[in-house]
Amino acid sequence: MTAAHALYRSQGYMETPPFAGSEAGSAGLESGAVFMELVQRYVLTRLVAVIGAHG
């Protein structure tokens, strides 16, 4: 999973605390789960760079 986590981080995802109502938490898996969220600022920066390179 280390490679998968690195891939997600390279695309702008960051680790975040578990969220309320998580299925992993209700199944007792929260301690082994990694919660991530997409950081929109990173995505927008990348999008502007791609558009600028092709525009």
Q: What mean pLDDT, rounded, does the chain reach?
A: 82
pLDDT at 25: 67
Mean pLDDT of 23-46: 78
Mean pLDDT of 12-30: 80
Mean pLDDT of 2-24: 86
**Distance, CA of 19 to CA of 35 (rounded, Å):** 8
55 pLDDT more than 70: no
Contact 14, 34 (CB under 8 A): no
